[in-house]
Amino acid sequence: MRIRWPRRVFAQVLLVQLATTTGVLMLVTGLFLAPLSAQLDEASMRQALAIAQTTAAEPALPRELAATRPSPRGPVQAEADRIRQHTGALYIVVMDRNGVRWSHTDTARIGGHVSTDPSRALAGRDVMDIERGTLGLSARGKVPLRDARGRIVGAVSVGMAYGSVRGELLSAVRGLLLYAGAALAAGALAAYAVSRRLQRRTHGLAFADISALLDEREAMLHGIREGVVALDGRGRVRLVNDEAQRLLGLGPGAAGRCLDEVLPPGRTADVLTGRVGGADLLTVCGDRVLVANRMPVRDGGAVATLRDRTELELLGRELDSTHGLLDALRAQDHEHANRLHTLLGLLELGLYEDAAQFVAEVSQAHRASAEQVAERVGDPLLAALLVGKSAIAAERGAVLRIAPVTELRERVVDPRDLVTVLGNLIDNALDAARTVEVELRAEGSTAVVRVSDDGPGVPPAMRERIFAEGWTTKRSPAHRGRGIGLALVRRLAGRYGGMARVTARAGGGAVFTVVLPEALVPDTRESAGPRTGGTAAYGRGAAADGAEAGTGGAR
């Protein structure tokens, strides 16, 4: 039956760890046992050699070897047997120069020749080896036997039973295997604990499932049209998909770096790093309006998602413009209805000359209002914006005035930017006040936009906060959020290298000032000279024609 390899990660890791632990323990045990046998043999041979040297050092042995004959009851046998019993040697053989035994454990072998070659010991050298003799395999030590003059008169051979050496080896192996088994059990428990932890972290998935999930994640992250930024616990970018790179303007080298290093300081960085909390937070990055959400993860990091709402914001503002145009048309419809009723009454009363004069005055008033704006503001988009906003002001019962110093006949580099700035500032002013004054001036190639109102004003502590993205004091309409208009104004001013600020108005109210350097193309034509006259007023009681071309904002 074929054993199937487990699919789950923790089971594979457990088996690999157990196999590795077992293999390592077996290798260590083998490496320990390999020299142990040789060490035990060496110790036994040295022990035999030491006993032989001690026996050969007995001064009586050379004399008795010369004075007696080999005998089981002789003094040499008695001395050798005494030493053997005290040392536990297998045998102690004393031989003469001819290799004849004078002592032996088996007394019947006394007087016979030794079974192994004694020539090296008789030549004056100490010998250690393991040999097989009449008593079997033994560890032996042989030394020369010298008389008082130092002459070699024989040799001493001592043998240690090899069975005792084998017993010591087996005893050591049993102890070693016991320790190895305990280590294997501890390693198995550790491997099981690690595998169980790995099972919890991988949710019991197999390697193939993890690989497929990673492939699917990469395809999903880089395929969706929503920006995704993953951060670790230290605020470093762990992952950023293609859409997030496009929305945030990040390069491919952003991964692994701290988010504050790859993004400029501002609300976007604060939202993504969690310094600003909340759901569906609005932020402006470059020219784009983004909706950001941040979800913490268990390791201390977070995953932030970004949705591009630029087009939606533009559509919303176009809808606001359409609503404003409808309001303006409704106001004009009411005003024209009243004038037609007046004209009809004059005709029915037969006041034909008065009727003709009334029609002429009304026509002249319409032409004068539009001509005054066109005369002071040369760009048609800005002029149309002011005319359209005047109709909105009239509908709301407010007054929109053009300041006497307004003079902007230079060609605008990008009229849409000025329309965005002016439209947001006028909308904010109309939401808060009854009288609004607009001032447009050119200082060389710099455009200065100033919108003042007689509303409640902006407290000093809030004059920076109102330019923050997502900050508003108004209820958001159903089709879009608030808190973007003034942020866009400041962002546009910063892009031109200018500034946007709010100050207090004398007599109460607020004054918003925006300076846009290099926003104008200087007019090379000869100036027609300064213009004089009073303030052009649009609003309560004044009719205005035209269409609105601005965008809404939020104070």
Query: Above 70 in pLDDT, residue 100?
Result: yes
Q: What is the pLDDT of residue 334?
A: 64
Q: Are residues 444 and 529 in the same domain?
A: yes
Q: What is the pLDDT of residue 365?
A: 52
Confidence of residue 539 (pLDDT cuts 50, 70, 90): very low
Lowest-confidence range among 30-39, 68-77, 182-191, 245-254?
30-39
- pTM beyond cutoff 0.75: no
Domain boundary, last residue among 308, 342, 371? 308
Looking at residue 2, what DSSP letter applies? P
Amino acid identity at 95: M
Q: Are residues 245 and 288 in the same domain?
A: yes
Q: Are residues 250 and 383 in the same domain?
A: no
Query: Above 70 in pLDDT, residue 215?
Result: no
Residue 475's Cβ-count burial label (10 Å; 0-12, 13-18, 19+) is exposed
Give dist(CA 283, CA 269) in Å, integer.
9
Lowest-confidence range among 87-91, 161-165, 291-295, 416-420?
161-165
431-473 tens-digit pLDDT:
888 899 999 988 888 899 999 999 888 888 888 888 876 566 5
Query: Which 3 state secondary structure label does DSSP give 240?
Result: strand
Give dist(CA 58, CA 78) in Å, integer.
13
Query: Above 50 in pLDDT, residue 174?
Result: yes
Which of 23-37, 112-126, 190-204 is predicted most confidently? 112-126
Q: In the chain, how many domains are there?
A: 3
Residues 6+ apart with CB under 8 A from 294: 271, 272, 274, 277, 302, 303, 304
Give dist(CA 171, CA 168) in Å, integer.
5
How many CB atoms are located within 10 Å of the residue 379 CB?
Answer: 19
> Cβ distance 236 to 253 under 8 Å?
no
Q: Are residues 291 and 358 in the same domain?
A: no
Mean pLDDT of 412-417: 81
> Cβ distance 103 to 93 under 8 Å?
yes
Q: Where are the alpha helices (DSSP H) in 279-351?
A: 310-348
Give dist(CA 184, CA 230) in Å, integer.
42
Q: Where are the alpha helices (DSSP H) in 397-541?
A: 415-432, 485-495
Percent of the chain scoring above 70 in pLDDT: 72
519-530 tens-digit pLDDT:
887 654 444 444
Q: Are residues 325 and 246 in the same domain?
A: no
Residue 186 lies in a domain: no
Q: Are residues 431 and 344 in the same domain?
A: yes
Residue 210 lies in a domain: no
Q: Are residues 401 and 535 in the same domain?
A: yes
Query: Which 3 state secondary structure label does DSSP give 30?
Result: helix
Q: What is the pLDDT of residue 363?
A: 62
> CATH number for the domain including 499?
3.30.565.10
Query: Above 90 in pLDDT, residue 347?
Result: no
**Boundaries of domain holding 263:** 224-308
Looking at residue 5, what DSSP letter applies? P
Q: Are residues 432 and 366 in the same domain?
A: yes
Amino acid identity at 406: T
> Cβ distance 271 to 279 under 8 Å?
no
Give dist(CA 315, CA 333) in Å, integer.
26
CA distances for 91 relative to 28, 80, 87, 110, 325, angstroms: 37, 9, 10, 12, 126
Query: Above 90 in pLDDT, residue 345?
Result: no
Q: CA-based Rg of the chain, rounded to a whole angstrom?
A: 54
Mean pLDDT of 344-356: 79
Q: What is the pLDDT of residue 50?
A: 92
Residue 200 lies in a domain: no
385-409 tens-digit pLDDT:
887 787 778 777 788 888 888 888 7
Percent of the chain scoring above 90 in pLDDT: 7
> CATH number for the domain including 255?
3.30.450.20
b (16+ CB within 10 A) / e for 177-199: eeebeeebeebeeebeeebeebb
